[in-house]
Amino acid sequence: MSARPPAKSAAPVASSKVKTLTIDDRLVSAREDESILDAARQNGIQIPTLCNLDGLTPVGACRLCVVEVKGSNKLFASCVTMVAEGMDVVTDSERLQRYRKTIVELLFSERNHVCAVCVSNGHCELQNLAQALGVTHLTVPYRHPKLPVDASHERFVNDHNRCVLCQRCVRVCGEVEGAHTWDINGRGIGARVITDLNQPWGSSETCTGCGKCVQVCPTGALTEKGKSVREMAKQSRFLPYLTMMREDRHE
Amino acid sequence: MSKVRLATVWLDGCSGCHMSFLDMDERILEIASRVEVVYSPLVDPKEFPADVDVTIVEGGVSSEEDLHKIRMVRSRTKLLVALGDCAVTSNVPGMRNTYKVEEVLKRAYFENADLKQQVPSEVIPRLLPRALPVHEIVPVDVFLPGCPPPADVIFGALVSLLDGTTPDLSATRFGR
Ligand code: SF4
Ligand code: SF4
Ligand code: SF4
Ligand code: FES
């Protein structure tokens, strides 16, 4: 049996692969294949996120992680923007706070979120974000759309009223479980998560029933059956370990 | 210094927010020493008076009576506080909003009733097409989300309003 190869992070990195940049007036360095979000976190700078989850490919779906890069008027989603030499990043400003709050407000107004009676009440990442960002009410009107609940799976429920379209379910099922049961159907306000060819979850032939999608879903959209209000605490910490173990094995 | 004229009103809510208000226990005496409660489900007067300094509203705006009341309250109040998720988001009363009013009434007074199946035509005010948060009808000055907001948050917010400072709302949120 050969000796175990060194872990990824311990491997020597050529100096050309290391970029130096500024985040919130602090000089930091990061590997060129790292995102602004990675670099910020490694230096203890917190940027709010929702769709991003350690262990899944970033997709830039929610835009909560937006930052400013000096010299550009555009805002950049820090989870999908790679670091670059000399970049000067601002992670917190009045403008960014305004945008982040508006994003959270739109997520609440777009579906039906009734926290008081939600199984995820008290464990929900959307709730946490609203509180952390100081969203005490919506400045946009509620839409109150009529949305279905799919309870056809024997162990899980999909409640479209609570979905924020973060695509974590799509990614964990495709990238980690390898089943690719989930997808997004439609566009914009009409977009919905679907299982297989837009059929009831319970009739899906690809779903293995592993429950990974339920555990990574940040809200009360995917839950275990039989949970009552406040009972649905998620366990998403399995993910970084699982990915780490697999990476080790591939090397 | 004259006392601050305080009112509380109860629209479409479960009274849980008023209960949470009372949950501040003996600290209510500190509030009481600084305010005069001029109107509330907890006190006698039946008419909402003029020149109210602060009104705390529990509940969403669901019926024609709520609508009339909240407009009148706003016109007689300097500072309007939306207390709790029903007032702030329409919360549980708003769960009917994906259905038509006729469907809701049919469900309540026919499908779920055994005796005297009929929609009441007197005493009960007519429902609006949707139950709405207070600020979708009239301007609101302070929002205290939560179902219900914790007594500590209500107390803290009232004290800062009486002191003329900005309330710290970081300890409360939608739901709980
Ligand atoms: S999913 Fe989260 S934000 Fe939505 S109703 Fe449930 S607890 Fe509230
Ligand atoms: S079901 Fe959950 S994980 Fe999937 S997109 Fe919606 S919120 Fe995200
Ligand atoms: S339970 Fe597992 S296989 Fe089934 S949809 Fe969820 S992640 Fe995919
Ligand atoms: S966390 Fe970056 S876009 Fe969602």
Measured from the alpha carbon of residue A77, the closest ligand is: 4
Same domain (yes/no): A107, A225: yes
Q: Give residue A247's pLDDT band: very low, low, confident or very high (50, 70, 90).
A: confident
Asked if B143 has any chain A CB less than 8 Å from its own CB, the reply is yes
Whether A79 is in the pocket of ligand 4, judged by its Cβ within 6 Å, is yes
Mean pLDDT of chain A: 93
Determine the pLDDT at residue B116. 85
Both A73 and A178 in one domain: the answer is no
What is chain A's alpha carbon radius of gyration, rounded to the nearest angstrom?
A: 20
The alpha helices in chain A, defined as continuous H runs, are: 36-42, 94-110, 125-133, 168-171, 212-216, 238-250
pLDDT at A188 over 60: yes
Per-residue confidence at A12, pLDDT binned at 50, 70, 90? low
pLDDT tens-digit profile of B148-162?
999 999 999 999 999
Question: How many Cβ atoms sit within 10 Å of the Cβ of residue A124?
Answer: 28
With cut-offs at 50, 70 and 90, classify the pLDDT of residue A245: confident
Domain extent at residue A210? 100-235
Q: Looking at the structure, do residues A23 and A144 belong to the same domain, yes or no?
A: no
Q: Verify that A203 and A79 share a domain, yes or no.
A: no
The residue with greater pLDDT, A209 or A244, is: A209
Per-residue pLDDT band for A1 (boundaries 50, 70, 90) equals very low
End-to-end Cα distance, chain B? 37
Report pLDDT digits (tens) over A63-86.
999 999 999 999 999 999 999 999
The three-state secondary structure class of A159 is strand
Task: For residue A63, tell me if it sits in a domain.
Answer: yes
Query: Quick one: how far is CA A175 from the chain centroid?
Result: 14
- Say if residue A15's pLDDT is above 60: no
Correct CATH for B4-96+128-163 of 2.70.160.11, 3.40.50.700, 3.40.50.970, 2.120.10.10: 3.40.50.700
Domain membership flag for residue A7 = no
B134 Cβ contact partners less than 8 Å away, ≥ 6 residues apart: B11, B57, B60, B61, B70, B80, B82, B87, B88, B140
Mean pLDDT of A115-125: 97
- The pLDDT of A130-159, averaged and rounded, is 97
So what's the pLDDT on residue A244? 80
Do A131 and A220 share a structural domain? yes
CB B83 within 8 A of CB B107: no
H helices then E strands: how many in chain A? Answer: 6, 10
Q: Could you tell me if A106 and A207 lie in one domain?
A: yes
Pairing outcome for strands A26-31 and A66-69: unpaired
State in Å: Cα B16 to ligand 2 middle.
32
Q: Is A228 exposed, middle or buried (0-12, 13-18, 19+ CB in 10 A)?
A: exposed
> Is residue A181 pLDDT above 90, yes or no?
yes
HSE of A100 in the Cβ direction (CA atoms, 13 Å)? 27
Q: What is the tally of structural domains in chain A?
A: 2
pLDDT band of residue A238 (cuts 50, 70, 90) is confident
Same domain, A230 and A198: yes
Do A168 and A82 share a domain, yes or no? no
Q: Does residue A103 have its Cβ closer than 6 Å to ligand 4?
A: no
Query: Chain-centre distance of CA A202, in angstroms?
Result: 25
- Taking CA A133 as the corner, what is the angle to CA A130 and CA A135, rounded to the nearest 5 degrees? 50
3-class secondary structure per residue, chain B:
CCCEEEEEEECECCCHHHHHHHCCCCHHHHHHCCEEEEECCCCCCCCCCCCEEEEEEECEEEEHHHHHHHHHHHHHEEEEEEECHHHHHCCCHHHHHHCCHHHHHHHHHHHCCCCCCCCCCCCCCCEEEEEECHHHCCCCCEEECCCCCCHHHHHHHHHHHHHCCCCCCCCCCCCC
pTM (two decimals): 0.92
pLDDT band at A14, cuts 50/70/90? Answer: low
Residues A84 and A192 in one domain: no
Residue A6, pLDDT above cutoff 50: no
pLDDT for A3 equals 44
Q: What is the pLDDT of residue A190?
A: 96
Exposure string of B19-43, with b = 16+ CB inside 10 Å and e = fewer, is ebbeebeebeeebeeebebbbbeee
Distance from CA of A92 to the nearest CA of B (A): 18
* Residue A93 confidence (pLDDT): 98
- On whether residue A31 sits in a domain, the answer given is yes
Percentage of chain A modeled with pLDDT above 70: 92
Q: Give residue-wise pLDDT tens across range B123-174.
A: 889 999 999 999 999 999 999 999 999 999 999 999 999 999 999 999 999 9
Domain ranges of chain B: 4-96+128-163
Asked whether residue A1 is domain-assigned, the answer is: no
Give the residues of chain B that fall short of pLDDT 70.
Answer: 1
Identify whether A57 is part of a domain.
yes
Distance from CA of A123 to the nearest CA of B (A): 9
- Percentage of residues in chain A having pLDDT higher than 90: 86
Instruction: Express each pLDDT in A217-226 by its tens digit.
Output: 999 999 999 9
Which ligand 2 atom is the nearest neighbour of the CA of A170? Answer: 4
User: What are the tens digits of pLDDT across the range A18-29?
Assistant: 999 999 999 999
The answer for A 48-87 residues in CB contact with B (under 8 A) is none
- CA closest to A111 among chain B residues: B98
Kindly give the number of the ligand 2 atom that is closest to the alpha carbon of A184.
5
Interface test mutation site (partner B, options A107, A115, A121, A146, max chain B beta carbons within 10 A): A115
Amino acid, res. A202: G
A109 shares its domain with A200 = yes
Q: What is the CATH number of the domain that holds A25?
A: 3.10.20.740
Name the pLDDT band for A115 (thresholds 50, 70, 90): very high
- Domain match, A69 and A138 both: no
pLDDT at A148 over 80: yes
* Closest residue to A141, CB basis, from B88, B136, B140: B136
Give dist(CA A110, CA B103) in Å, integer: 23
CATH number of A198's domain = 3.30.70.20
* Whether A228 contacts chain B with CB within 8 A: no
Task: Tell me the average pLDDT across A228-235.
Answer: 91
Residues A179 and A207 in one domain: yes
CA distance A181 to chain B (A): 29
Residue A250 resides in a domain: no
